[in-house]
Structures are given as structure tokens and as C-alpha cells.
Amino acid sequence: MSRRPSPHDAFTNLAARIAAHVRDDGFTPTALDGLTLLGYAGHSVRQPEVYEPSLVFVAQGEKTAHLEDRVIDYGAGHYLVQAMPVPFECETRGAPDKPVLGAALRIDAAVLDELVTSMPNAVWPAADPADTESLPMAAVALDERMTDALARLLECLDDELCARALYGMRVREVIFEALRGPQGHLLRRLIHERGAYARIGTAINQLHTDYAKSLSVADLAAGVHMSVSSFHHHFKRVTRLSPLQYQKRIRLLAARDLLASQVENVAGAAHAVGYESASQFSREYKRYFGVAPTHDRARQAHTGTLALTDPA
């Protein structure tokens, strides 16, 4: 009987499969819908990011997420459950001979809804009674079941027939393992609950869709059937930001992508994301990213590199 690989060997195998497909530092898109690979051969300084709802796996190296007052470490053998797309700051630690290697899988909303609603809530593992926070992101250690599910998913990178026939099933399997993992309740709350956590998730989705529009807190609260005071309290509890601070960060992150792609100049990017004053935009951009937008755009035109803010 063949010996089952040790956890270390399993993570090494995952890292090797990912490394074969990573092209540059940052996120590498794949032909598989919702799956992106990541690789960093050095130390990435702490910088603002925002990920869409996803599971971010690390097979080698270390990453740290800073969500205001929270510090979330997830190194080799861990994955990040990103239940809501909240702005945070990320630091990556790798080396040329041992780069950070990982994969990000977008959480398919239809798959999540079908898995959660097809079974009674009682069959899912109960949340830790001590876990009373409504957290939009948390780190989880890879257990044997999730490691196997991830390995089967990544096989689709090298087997086109497998990808065509089984990829959708293997995405479903990975999301299922996350749902019954230690932080699965973060995802299940978005579907089962009609309480504050799920309502804040709805408001966050609206902010991402309409970030360039002028939205009042009163309108956002009314849209999810909450009082302004209750909405503001729960929004800040989940995101560590006020609604207007959140919108500002989403606007600035979107502007950074526009500048990096050379689609817009500074004034055009400011207008595209909802700023009426280019000077105010420049001040807030520099305060958030630590560099003026004109310098950032020129640097990107010269180097052509910028870590993506969306893993999938």
C-alpha cells in the first residue's frame, strides 16, 4: 500500500504545481474560471489591496493581512477566507530561492448559495461559541480534506480533459470544504442569515458596484432596511471602516488600477472613480498609497509592474 504524503510533502507538491504556471511577481490569471495563481520572489512591502470574495491558499512562503487593528498571518499550509471584499493592507515575505506560491479561488456565489440552502443548517459544524465577531476575513489551517481537494483542483491546470469534465465539480468541492471548515460560518451567514452581517454584505456589494456615484449613508441604510445608527455601527464592526471611508478606499484602489493600465491620466482617473476635484484626489491618493498619482503613473509606465488588487 502506498504511503500517504506527509503534510510537508503535500504542500511541496502543491507549490511545485503552482510554480510551473506562475509567470511574474504578483497574480497570474489562468484559463480556469475563477482561479488565479500568485507568486512573489521577494519581500513585498505592506500595501493597500482589496480582494473579491475568495479563498486564498498559500503553499509556500508567508503573507500577512492588516485589517485596521487586526493582523492576520497565513503562511504555508494556510488559506484566507475572504467572505467580503474589504480593503486591507498586505505584506508578502518570500525569497528568490523560496518564493511565496499560492492560489486564489473566487467564491462562486451560485455554488455557495446552492451548497448552503440544499442542506439544513443543523448539519454544518457549529461555530466556535467564543467566535462572536462578525469577521469578513480569517485564516484557516489546511486540513487533510482541503489539501486533497485543492490538489485535485490544481490538477486541472495540466490536464485539459480533466479541466473540461471536472473543474466545476472540483471548485464545488473546495468551496464545500471551506463551508465545513473552522470559518465556514462566515460564508454561511451570507446566505442563511437575514441579520446585520448579511445586510452589511449586501451594502458592500452595492458600494463596489456604484463606488463612483454619490451615495449617502442614509440611502445605504435604507437599502438594507436598517436605521442609520445601526447600519453605521454594524458596518464599522465588520469592515473596521465607516461607509464613507470604505467608499473612498475602493475609489482610490480603482483609480490605481486605471493609472497602472495607462487607460487614464490623473484627472481622468479622478473623474472616473467619482472625484469632482483632481487636487483632492491627488492629496487623498498620496495619503493612502504614499506616492503622488502622477509619480505612480510614470513609474508604472516605466516598469510595467503592479501587484493586482483582485485575485480572480
Q: What is the pTM of this model?
A: 0.81
The per-residue pLDDT for 140 is 92
The per-residue pLDDT for 131 is 59
CA dist., res. 252 & res. 289, Å (int): 9
The per-residue pLDDT for 309 is 38
By CB atoms closer than 10 A (0-12, 13-18, 19+), residue 52 is middle
By CB atoms closer than 10 A (0-12, 13-18, 19+), residue 91 is middle
pLDDT digits (tens, 9 = 90+) for 174-217: 999 999 998 898 888 888 666 787 889 889 989 999 999 998 99
The per-residue pLDDT for 1 is 45
**Mean pLDDT for all residues in the chain:** 87
- Positive or negative, the CA dihedral 233, 234, 238, 243 is negative
Cα 261 to Cα 254, 256, 304, distances in angstroms: 11, 9, 9
CA dist., res. 125 & res. 176, Å (int): 12
Grid cell digits, residue 82: 475572504
Q: Which helix (H) or strand (E) holds 180?
A: none
Q: Are strands 100-106 and 54-60 parallel, antiparallel or unpaired?
A: antiparallel
Residues of the chain with pLDDT under 70: 1-5, 128-134, 192-194, 297-312
CA dist., res. 300 & res. 303, Å (int): 5
Reported CATH class of domain 7-190: mainly beta
Superfamily for domain range 245-303: Homeodomain-like (1.10.10.60)
CA dist., res. 272 & res. 268, Å (int): 6
